Each structure stands twice: as C-alpha cells, then as structure tokens.
C-alpha cells in the first residue's frame, strides 16, 4: 500500500497522458478514416489505389515499426523538414507518438467504416434516393448514421486496442502509464508492483470506456430493444 500511495500521483499523470493520446488519435483518426473509406469505395482508380496502399501499409506493419519510422526516421530528413517549418514538430516525441497512433488507427477505422457502409441494405439507400436526397444529404442523413450503428461494436474494440497500444510510445521517452512504470521499477527495482499498478490503471481505463460504449450502443439500438411486457395493474380490486 505504501508503494501505491507514494507513486500514485506519477501514475495518474501517466494515465492522463495515455487518455490524451488515445482520445486525440481516435478523434483525428476517425476524421481521416471517413474520406479514406469513401475513397476505397470510389470508382476512381487513383483514389482507390492511394487509399488501398495506405491501408495496406498501416495494417500490414507493426505499430512499433511505424513509431520508429516516424520518430527516428524523420531525423534523416531534418534539413528538408526544417526548410518547410516541420522539424519542430518531428523532433517532439509526443507529436510523433500522436501522429503514429493517428495514422495507424485511421487505417483500421476506415476498414470498419467501409465494411459498415457495405453492410447497409441497398433498399434503404434506394428509398432515400427515391425521396430525392442528393449524395451529400444521403451520406449525412442515411449512410453515416446507419454505418455508425452497424460498425459501433467493432469501433469499440478499435478504441480499446488504441488505449492499450499507447503503451508502445514509452519506447520513445513518452511518460504514459507504461513509461512511468518502467521509470519507477528501474529506480526502486519494484517491477512487479510498478507494472501491477500500471495493469490496474489500464483495466480501469478499458472497462470504464467499455461501460460508456455499451450505454452509447444501447441508445443507438434503442429502436431495436424489445419493449418490456406491460404488467397488469390492480384498480380497486379489479385487474386492468
């Protein structure tokens, strides 16, 4: 207990870093995923080819390799990046970690969206077109809401994976939960306690999000829920 009381503030600071990275990467990744998914479904060969190559690379290579490629690899292009004013960003490990996580989750999320869009019954889309909805309105009012409803369980798993994947950024000196656990364990040789507390914090974050995600899923599917069987009420001794 003394270990927890002494080191909990540092671990909570690391948890805040983990939450920031997971939240920002998932938010920006979702915004990138929609145009990538639409490009994958496009009849334009150029758009489909570029988006397919992007998804092929980021789904086919380890996230750790992507982090190293962006953080360490960008140093080889320091002069070129400095000439366009980007070196200040790429020399910051936090920015590189966020960029790596964002590009990775955007690829996976785009595939979730693509599959969800393709799963929408054609009759619903044809009915919306028959009402005269133009493509932008069709996308905003029909396709996206239904795709979110269909793909939400899979996207929940992606966010859970992203929370856990943030542990990899500790390798480039980011003091997230895992980074704090490594530092504290190496300082006091209390690796079991340090990583045990880190695991407990990850469990709290993951299952806390899962609880929220289930509430959102219930609201998204409220119209599919079976109404509770009405119980008879007694009025003045009579059953109504």
Q: List CB contacts of 184: < 8 A, sequence separation 6 or more.
A: 7, 10, 11, 190, 194
Kindly report the backbone phi and psi dihedral angles of residue 238, in degrees, each rounded to the nearest multiple of 5, phi listed first: -100, 145
| Residue boundaries of the structural domains of the chain | 16-176
> For residue 236, is pLDDT > 90?
no
Tokens of 171: 């390798």
Count Cβ neighbours within 10 Å for each residue of 72-105 and write b for 16 or more, e otherwise. eebeeeeeebeeeeebeebeebbebbbbbbbbbb
* pLDDT 10s digits, 91-120: 889 999 999 999 999 999 999 999 999 998
- CA 195 vs CA 76, 84, 177, 190, 235: distances in Å: 34, 41, 9, 9, 61
CATH architecture of 16-176: Orthogonal Bundle (1.10)
pLDDT in the model for residue 238: 47
Please state, in angstroms and rounded to a whole number, the distance separating the CA atoms of residues 173 and 183.
Answer: 10
Q: What is the pTM of this model?
A: 0.86
129 close to 49: Cβ distance less than 8 angstroms? no
**Torsion sign over Cα 113, 114, 115, 121:** positive
To the nearest whole percent, how much of the chain has pLDDT over 90?
Answer: 60
* pLDDT 10s digits, 136-191: 888 888 888 888 889 999 999 999 999 999 999 999 989 999 999 999 988 888 88
């Amino acid at each position: 207990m003394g270990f927890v009381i002494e080191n909990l503030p540092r671990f909570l600071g690391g948890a805040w870093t983990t939450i920031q990275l997971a939240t920002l990467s998932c938010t920006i990744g979702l915004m990138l995923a929609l145009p990538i998914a639409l490009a994958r479904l496009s009849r334009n060969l150029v758009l489909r080819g570029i988006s397919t190559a992007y998804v092929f690379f980021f789904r086919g290579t380890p996230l750790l390799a992507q982090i190293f490629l962006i953080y360490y690899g960008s140093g080889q292009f320091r002069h070129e990046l400095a000439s366009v004013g980007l070196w200040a960003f790429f020399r910051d490990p936090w920015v590189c970690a966020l960029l790596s996580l964002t590009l990775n989750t955007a690829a996976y999320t785009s595939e979730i969206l693509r599959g969800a869009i393709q799963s929408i019954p054609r009759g619903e889309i044809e009915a919306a077109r028959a009402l005269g909805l133009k493509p932008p309105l069709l996308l905003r009012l029909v396709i996206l809401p239904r795709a979110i409803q269909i793909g939400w369980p899979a996207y929940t798993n992606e966010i859970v994976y992203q929370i856990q994947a943030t542990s990899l950024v500790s390798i480039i000196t980011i003091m997230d939960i895992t980074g704090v656990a490594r530092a504290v364990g190496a300082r006091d040789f209390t690796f079991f306690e340090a990583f045990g507390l880190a695991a407990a914090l990850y469990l709290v974050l993951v299952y806390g999000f899962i609880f929220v995600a289930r509430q959102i899923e219930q609201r998204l599917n409220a119209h599919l829920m079976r109404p509770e069987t009405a119980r008879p009420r007694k009025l003045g001794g009579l059953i109504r």
